[in-house]
Chains A and B, each alone.
Chain A
Amino acid sequence: MPFNDDKRAGLSRRTLLHAGAGLAGSMMLPVSLISPASASGDQPALGTWPAGSQGDTVYIGATVPRTGAYAVQGEDELKGMQLAVEHINEGNDLLKQIAPKIDKGVLGKKVALVVADSAAKPNNAVQSQQTFINDNKIIAMTGSTSSAVAVALNKFAQREKILYLVAISGSNDTTGKDCARYSFRQCVYGETCANAIGPVLVKNFGKGKKAAFMTPDYTYGHTVTKSVNDYLTSQGGWEMVTNQVSPLGTQDFSQYLTNIANSGAEFIVNVNWGRDAVLSVQQAKQFGLTPTMKMVIPYQIPFLAKEVGPDLTEGVFAATDFWWTMEDKYPLAKAFVDAFQKKYDYRPEWGAENAYMQFAIWARMVSEAGTFYPPDVIKQYEKGETFPSMVGDVKFRPEDHQLIRPVVIVRGKAAKDMKNPEDFWEVVEIVPGEGLMQKPDAFGCQLGDYT
């Protein structure tokens, strides 16, 4: 033990006192220098605070997939973020309706986006965000199109004490067992989708059906499959006759489809996402499985209909966040779709809407809190205030940081019924959010500390 060490024993009490005083003095100095903090002085440096918000511009780090199976969806998501940043900085009317206190920026600062390709891989995303923290002192992170990335960034955000605005993430775990104090989710997820689409399926197709599931092998796939299957078996008496689990990025689904062909299923519940979904839907048709078996997509995929064509999505039920024809019902949605289409020349899919809303909500929370100090911003989110969105009034649930919002059920239109080249889906139902969510602690959410 060091206390019995000869050298230590040889030190005089006086030397120790001197050294101690010196140490204390030298430590006082930099602390007071690097953290001017707030007027009250009770906000010590935390994460990138206050360094990240001292210049004219605050940075948000976005890691979106620009390559790989989720690249198409990632690009759409990124465009939503870029439009939101533009709107925040110009004090756009649409954004002001969600965040009334913004004025050409947030708290007098311009917002800028720094972007990296995550390829939908957690490691890539975390490494890029670390670089952004070092180089740009980002004050918030965003991006994810895979829940595996969202869960990784949740943990990273909590450790680094930097806000994380979850982009696309459908896993129950993101605000369930892997939730974080520093993370907030806007979009719908497995459990809400299951509870919204389940009744529609039972009503339209009846009870006691046999379903084959197609599941991508990670947190999103497994939790969505479980939620949907739980609903259909308990409420509809459906039976899961097979569950075909494939790795993210599968190209040839023939072996899975061969199993489904031999399973006696009447329905294919396809939980695959992004390019995996495009390919599995196309190949199910090649194998002659659809339309003999009905396809259901519990968690809808942006651009799916555009890529596979309306012939393959006709009559397919899907649960989603947002579809552009909702502009007929919600004025904010109309303003958004118009602005987006003007800038990018196509109507936004829900990834873009989700990303835009996340930024708009963030701008609202920061401007309402009147500070970038993360714990204060988090507490603003946790007030659970109701605010307007593109799908009506919504609010955050303080217990797990999940937005309470409606789930939209759509059904694929036949090619002949499409009024324009992007009129792929008909909105069948907009299901209010309150009844769709599990109890806050049902999936084991334990938010971490503020500091």
Chain B
Amino acid sequence: MINWANFLSQCFNGLVLGGLLALISSGLTIIYGTLGVLNLAHGAMFMLGGYAGWVAYDYTGSFLVALIAGSLFVMLVGVLMERLIIRYFYSRPQEDQILVTFGLGIVFVETVRFFFGSLSKTVPPPALFQGITNLGFMVYPTYRLASLGIVTAALLALYLVLYRTRLGMIVRAGIEDSVMVGSLGIDVYKVFMLVFGIGAMAAGFAGIVNAPVVSIAPDVGEAILVQTFVVVVIGGVGSFPGAVLGGLIAGEIISITSMFNPGYSYVMLFVAMTLVLVWRPYGLLGTAGRE
């Protein structure tokens, strides 16, 4: 089992897996970094993205429309969630924020279950990316290859927004000191709303990108949420580059461990997290907290 072909295959597979985790985690970490809200509904947003995309696909038959509709819908849900509920929790204890987002996650999941049932739904990959590709050392589903490209492009776009735009500058400044940003005459709360929307959109986008790989069901967000948290902890809470690095590390750990003993892949992921926490309590690229 442990030969070069398999090793290369698993490294590559880890990259694809890690890219997706990085994208979902970046949304979580942007929201936490900027707003200080630990959004436990993030997994449910990932699921919502998948369902919204599936509905759009059902009507139009276009994957591109599904991708856009899925992301925009979840962004809208994120913005509404922030306006209607989350903003009343900014100044409340973190336990309250965790409870309210956890509760909202359950509401989202059960609403979807009520309307669509538990049977899984499939969104086929676009015609261009169907079939398998021979990479020389392995054959790999073409869509998974494409999803690596899509995810990389999305992460790049997020990076550009965060590091090359005025909005991004305000967001990053807000992470450091939101009071100071506010006193400079910038409407911090409008920015917060946008940040929540963008964070949610990242999850929703990932949800629909992932739908052709893993068909969607109401519970898909639950498992991914746990992995996302591990990624964020490894990379450093509140750090965008940390989420990307953490995602890639997690993907590789899961893939490579499974080559030796599949049963230990997730165990090793938690071992890695523990080691990081011991060695660097704030994560690999994290800084000593925002408080």
List A residues at the B interface (Cβ < 8 Å). Answer: 66-69, 71-72, 75, 217, 242, 244-247, 249-252, 254-256, 258-259, 261-263, 275, 278-279, 282-283, 286-288, 303, 306-307
Contacts and interface: CB of A to CB of B under 8 A. Distances in A.
Contacts of A67: 109, 113, 118, 218-219
Contacts of A252: 17, 213-214
Given A251-B224, A275-B120, A283-B214, 10 more contacts: A252-B17, A252-B213, A254-B17, A255-B10, A255-B262, A259-B262, A263-B1, A282-B122, A286-B213, A287-B139
Q: Is the interface of B mostly helix, strand, loop or mixed?
A: helix
A307 B13 CA distance: 25
A258 B132 contact: no
A68 B266 CA distance: 18
Given A246-B262, A255-B262, A262-B5, A288 B139 contact: yes
Contacts of B217: 71, 275
B1 A259 contact: yes
Contact of B258 (A249, A259, A261, A282): A259
Nearest to A68: B219
A262 B6 contact: yes
Interface in B133-173: 138-141, 143-144
B13 A254 contact: yes
Given A72-B118, A258-B13, A263-B1, A279 B219 contact: no
A261 B9 contact: yes
7 contacts: A69-B219, A75-B118, A255-B255, A258-B10, A259-B258, A279-B214, A286-B132
Report, as a range, how many residues of chain B touch the other chain: 35 or more
A246 B254 CA distance: 11
Contacts of B62: none
Given A275-B120, A282-B215, A255 B266 contact: no
B280 to A, nearest CB: 27
Interface in B248-290: 254-255, 258-259, 262-263, 265-266
Contacts of B16: 254
Contacts of A278: 120, 215
B246 to A, nearest CB: 17
A69 B131 CA distance: 27
Interface of B: 1, 3, 5-6, 9-10, 13-14, 16-17, 109, 113, 117-120, 122, 131-132, 138-141, 143-144, 213-215, 217-220, 222-224, 254-255, 258-259, 262-263, 265-266
Contacts of A282: 122, 215
Nearest to B10: A258
Contact of A256 (B120, B139, B258): B258
Contact of B144 (A247, A275, A286): A286
Nearest to B214: A251
A375 to B, nearest CB: 39
Given A72-B118, A251-B220, A255-B13, A286 B262 contact: no
Contacts of B9: 258, 261-262
A307 to B, nearest CB: 5
A246 B266 CA distance: 10
Given A255-B255, A261-B139, A303 B119 contact: yes
A68 B5 CA distance: 35
A244 B214 contact: no
Contacts of A283: 213-214
A249 B220 CA distance: 9
A262 B132 contact: no
Which of A66, A282, A286 counts the most B-chain CB atoms under 10 A from its CB? A286
B223 A259 contact: no
Contacts of B143: 286
A310 to B, nearest CB: 14
A209 B266 CA distance: 31
A256 B262 CA distance: 7
B1 A242 contact: yes
Contacts of B222: 68
A259 B220 CA distance: 24
